Chain A
Amino acid sequence: MQGLLPYVTRRLLWAPVLLFVVSLVTFALGRYGPGDPIAVLQAQRLDPEVAESIRHERGLDQPFVEQYLTYISNFLRGDLGESFSIYRGIPVQDIIFPRMWVSFQYSFLVLIITYAIGIPIGIFTALKQGTWLDPFVIGGFLFIASIPVLVVIPILQWLFALQLGWLPSGGWQINEIAGIEFGIFDKRIMLPVIALTLPGLGGVARLMRISTLEVLGEDFVRTARAKGLHEITVASRHVARNSLLPLVTIMGYELAGLMGGAIFTETLLGIPGVGQLAFQAITSNDYDIVMALVLLGASAFIVAMLVVDIAYTFVDPRVRYRPGELL
C-alpha cells in the first residue's frame, strides 16, 4: 500500500515510452516494407505521375523522421489521418470508431455471457468434486474450447442456418434504441456470439472451480459446513466473494482486447468490426488505419495492464499459465 503511489507514477511515466516504441516500430514496418498503398489504389490503372503527386500530397516523399513526427503530432492533436487505399480520402476516425463500436458491442456481450455461464458452472463442478460430473463437465468444455474456431464456425453455420434454419448465417443488422444504434439486438448476432462464447467457457469455469476449491478448503468454510449450514449458503456467502477476485483481474485484460475484435469470426460471419478492417488495412497497406488501430489497441492494453497491476499489489496473484495467448 505504501509503495503504491511511486509505483503508479513509474508506470505512468513508462506508458509514453511504450507507446513511442510501438508506434515507431509500426510506422517503420509500414514505410519500409514492400507494397505501396498508392499501387493498390491505382490497381491496374497505374499512372506514375499521379502516384507521385499523391505521394507528395500525403507526405510520403518526406524523410522518414519527418513523416513520423508529422504523424505523431497530428495524432496527439486528435487527427488520425486519412485512408490511403481502402476508403480513399475518408478520415480515419470516421472509419475506425464506428467499427470499434461494433466490435465492442458483441465482445462485451460475449464477455458477459461467458462469465454468466462459466461462473456458476465452475462453482457447481467444485461442489460436485469427487463425483463423475466434475471431470465430465470441465473436460467437456475444455474439449469444445480446443476445437479451432475455423472448424467450429462452418459447423455452426451448417447446423443452425442450413439444417435447422433457426438463425441467419451471420451478418450485422442495426436497430436503433434510444437514439443509439445497436447491432446486438438482432438474431443475426447469435451465431457469432455462440462461436465466440464456447471457447471461453472452459477457462472461466476451470478458474472458478479451482478458486472455489481453495476457499472450500479453508477453515472458516469448513467450520460453516460443520455447523450444518446448507451448501448453497456456504457457497454464496464465502466462496463467491473470495473467488471472484482472480476472475475480475483477468477480466481487466480481456476488456482491453474488446475492441480488437475477432478477425476470423468477423471475416467468416460478415461483421463489420475492427478485426475485419485491420486485416483489410494491412493487406492494402493502408498505413494510417493500421497505425491508428495499433496505437489505440496498445493504449487500451497499457491502461488495463496498469489497473490490473495495481490490483495485483493487493491480490495474491493466482498464477496459472494460459496457453495460446498470442492467437
Chain B
Amino acid sequence: MLKLIRNRLSTGFIAALMVIAVMLLAVSCGSSSEDPGSPDDSEPSSDVSSGDNVLRLPGGDPITLDPALASDAESASYIVEIFSGLVTLDRDLNVVPDVAQSVDVSDDGKTYTFKLRTNANFHDGSRRVTANDFKYSMERSLDRETQSTTAVLYLGDIVGAKEFANGRAEEVSGIKAIDPNTLEITIDAAKPYFLSKLTYPTAFVVDQNNVESNPRSWFRRPNGTGPFKLTEWRLGERIVLDAYERFYNGRPSVDRVVFNMALGSSLTAYENNELDLSGVGINDIERIRDEREPLNQQFVTQEQLDVWYIEFNSTKAPFDDPKVRQAFTHAIDKDKLVEVVLLDAVRKANGVLPPGMPGYNANLDGLEYDPNRAKQLLSESKYGSAQGLPPITMISSGGGASLGPSSEAILAMWEETLGVTVEVQQSEFATFLQQIQRGDFQMAEQGWIADYVDPEDFLDIKLHSQSTDNYGRYNNAEFDRLVEQARTEQNSEARMNLYRQAEQIVVNDAAWIPLYHSMDNALVKPYVKDYNVSPLVIPTLRYVSIER
C-alpha cells in the first residue's frame, strides 16, 4: 500500500517536472538564439532607468527601425532620433539643413546642391558620412529589393529614380556625389515641397557595412548618425537610447532615454513618478483640465497635423449621389460631438487641412449642422427618402469592444435626423485595410496624419482621382486640375490659394465628412525642460534637458 502510494505520487511529480523541463529547455534555447540580433548585451544594466539625467517615456514597439521601410509614426519616432538625413524639421516645422551644411537651389528650381558637414560620423566611430553614403542610402531605399513602400513617394521626383526603381537603370542619375562633401540632386520639375520630402526617414543615411552585415535584421543593431544610439531593444519591453557623444550638433543634454512599453496605465505610472511624460486620454482630460488639480500645471496640449473623417465611396450606392453625401454631412452636429462626447479633447474640423498646415483656411465654408437642410437634400436625391436608400454599412477598424463614443453618437444623429439606420462593421486592422484598399465599402471611418508639412500630402494624395490612396474614388475634374496646377506652382501664395479652392470643392461635394483634428494632450514633469510636444514626428529629444 505504502509503496503504491509513493509510486503514484512520484508519477504525478514526474509529470510536473517533465513539463517544467520542456519549458525551461524552450526558454534556454530562446535566450541563446537571441544573441546575434539584440544590441550590445554587455552594456545595459538591469536598472536602466536610474540616474538623474535619464528621461523616461512611455512607448510602443516599432514595426521596424529601418528608415527605408518605416511607414508608420511609431517606427518613425525612434528612427528620427537614431538616424538623420540631409535636412530636417526644426521645432517650428521649418526645413533646416542637418547633415548638409547648406543647400543651394538652382534658378530653375530643379537642381539642389548639398554641402555636407565634415563632422558627421556614424555611431560606431568608424568613419564620417560622405556624399556617397547618401547616394547609397537613397538608391537602397528605391531599390525594389528593399521593398520600401515610401521611397518612390518621397524620392520619386528625383530624375531617374523611377527608372532605377523599375530596374531599368543601374543608378539614379539625378543623385550625384560630386566629391565627398558635395551631393547634387536633380528633380524632374521645380517642386517647392521637395525639400520637405527629404525630411522623411526614407531619405536618411544608413551605413552600408551595417546593412550588409545582416540584411534581414541589421536594424536591431543600427549604426546611425542621429543624436542618440540604440543601446537596447527588448521586444515588447523597452527601448533604451543613449546620447551620442560626438553628435555634430552637440551632444544631447540627457544621458539616456528609456521608452517603457510594459506599463499598465501610463498616467498612473506618471503619477507614481515612474515616467516623466504621459499622454492624457479622454477619461482623464476633465480632471487634468480642472485648475484645482495639481497636475494641471504640468498639462500641455498641442494640435496635431491630422484629420479624422468619414470617407464616402463615391462609386457605391447611395453615396454616388452627392446630395446623399451632403445630407449625411449636414445631419451631424459636430459642435456637440466635440464638446460633449469628445470633451473638447479634439478640435472640430470644417475642412480637410488641419490648423498649422500651410494653406489652412480658417474661413472655409464647411457643411454645418442643419437638420432641415439634411432632410431636404435627402428628399431631393435620386433615392427620394430614407426608405429609398439601400442598406448602409460603415466600416471601422478596431479590435476592442468599443466602437468609440463618437461613432455611436454619429449613428444616433443619423438615425434621429434622417431616420436612417446605419450598420457598423468593425474589423481587425488587417481586414479593414484590405477592405478600404479594395474599395469594398460604402462608408469608412478613418484618420490621416501628415507625413510632411505640405497640403499636397492631404489633398493631392488622398483625393486626386488617380491617387492610389483615394480609396473612396472621389473624382472631380476641377479639383484634379487645381491640385495638379499646385504641384508645380512656384509662388507659394498662389499655390496655397489653389489648395484652398480645391479644398472648398471637396467640402462642398462632401467627399468626406471631416470630423475633427486631434490634439496631443500630455503631462510633462516640471523638471523636464524644452520637451516639445510636436504635431509631427520630428527629432525632439536632443533639445530636452533635465533640471531637478
Residues of A bordering B, CB below 8 Å: 34-37, 39-50, 53-54, 57, 82, 85-91, 93-101, 104, 157, 161-162, 165, 168-176, 181, 191, 241-242, 244-245, 248-249, 251-252, 255-256, 258-259, 268-272, 276-277, 279, 282-285, 296, 300, 303-304, 307-308, 310-311, 314-315
Contacts and interface: CB of A to CB of B under 8 A. Distances in A.
A40 B220 contact: no
Given A169-B272, A271-B262, A248 B23 contact: no
A170 B264 contact: yes
B392 interface: no
Given A283-B428, A314-B7, A93 B30 contact: yes
Contacts of A95: 235
B15 A171 contact: no
Contact of B428 (A35, A57, A300, A308): A35
B9 A244 contact: yes
Contact of B150 (A45, A82, A96, A277): A45
Interface stretch (B182-190, B315-323, B430-438, B476-484): B430-438
Contacts of B431: 34-35
B16 A248 contact: yes
B262 A270 contact: yes
Contacts of B469: 44, 46
B23 A104 contact: yes
A214 to B, nearest CB: 15
Contacts of B34: 93-94, 97-98
25 contacts: A43-B72, A47-B152, A49-B144, A50-B149, A53-B144, A87-B64, A90-B217, A90-B235, A93-B33, A94-B235, A97-B27, A98-B236, A104-B27, A165-B272, A168-B268, A168-B274, A169-B272, A175-B47, A248-B12, A252-B19, A270-B262, A283-B428, A284-B429, A300-B22, A307-B19
Given A45-B153, A93-B29, A315-B8, A168 B63 contact: no
A50 B144 CA distance: 7
Contacts of A171: 260, 262-264, 269, 274
3 nearest A-B residue pairs (beta carbon): A97-B30, A170-B264, A248-B12
A154 B263 CA distance: 14
B260 A90 contact: no
A244 B16 CA distance: 13
B265 A303 contact: no
A272 B469 CA distance: 34
Contacts of B23: 100, 104, 258-259, 300
A47 B71 CA distance: 12
B11 interface: yes
B156 to A, nearest CB: 11
B40 to A, nearest CB: 15
Interface in B150-188: 150, 152-153
Nearest to B220: A90
A44 B153 CA distance: 12
B20 interface: yes
Given A94-B235, A101-B30, 16 more contacts: A35-B430, A95-B235, A100-B26, A162-B268, A169-B268, A170-B264, A171-B274, A173-B262, A256-B19, A270-B261, A272-B262, A284-B430, A300-B23, A303-B22, A311-B11, A314-B8
Nearest to B32: A97
B432 to A, nearest CB: 9
A168 to B, nearest CB: 6
B437 A46 contact: yes
B29 A97 contact: yes
Interface in B411-434: 427-431, 433-434
B64 A255 contact: no
Contacts of B387: none
B216 interface: yes
B426 to A, nearest CB: 12
B46 A176 contact: yes
Contacts of B71: 42-45
Contacts of A40: 429-430, 433
Given A85-B63, A90-B217, A284-B430, A245 B150 contact: no
Nearest to B4: A314
Interface in B361-397: none
Given A90-B37, A94-B37, A175 B46 contact: yes
Contact of B216 (A89, A256, A258, A272): A89
B468 interface: yes
Interface in B1-55: 4-5, 7-9, 11-16, 18-20, 22-23, 26-27, 29-31, 33-34, 37-38, 45-47
A300 B433 contact: no
B217 A89 contact: yes
B475 to A, nearest CB: 19
Given A97-B31, A244-B9, A307-B14, A87 B19 contact: no
B520 interface: no
A95 to B, nearest CB: 6
A53 B263 CA distance: 37
B237 interface: yes
Contacts of B207: none
Nearest to B449: A44
A39 B149 contact: no
Given A248-B16, A307-B15, A94 B33 contact: yes
Nearest to A171: B263
B69 interface: yes
A111 to B, nearest CB: 10
Contact of B18 (A86, A98, A181, A307): A307
Contacts of A99: 235-236
**Quick one: which of B64, B148, B235 has the most chain A CB within 10 A?**
B235
A98 B31 contact: yes
Contacts of A277: 236
Contacts of A314: 4, 7-8, 11
A301 B442 CA distance: 45
Contacts of A258: 19, 23
Interface in B239-272: 260-265, 268-269, 272
Contacts of B125: none
Contact of B15 (A175, A296, A304): A304
B488 interface: no
A283 B432 CA distance: 11
Interface in B124-141: none
Nearest to A177: B46
A100 B7 contact: no
Contact of B264 (A88, A93, A270): A270
Contacts of A43: 71-72, 433
A169 B429 CA distance: 28
Contacts of A47: 149, 152, 468
B335 interface: no
Contacts of A310: 11, 15
Interface string B93-137: 000000000000000000000000000000000000000000000
A256 B5 CA distance: 24
A255 B269 contact: no
A284 B69 CA distance: 18
Contacts of A283: 399, 428-430
B147 interface: yes
B234 interface: yes
Nearest to B72: A43
B428 A311 contact: no
A91 B4 CA distance: 48
Contacts of A90: 37, 217, 220, 235
A172 B234 CA distance: 12
A98 B69 contact: no
A57 B5 CA distance: 58
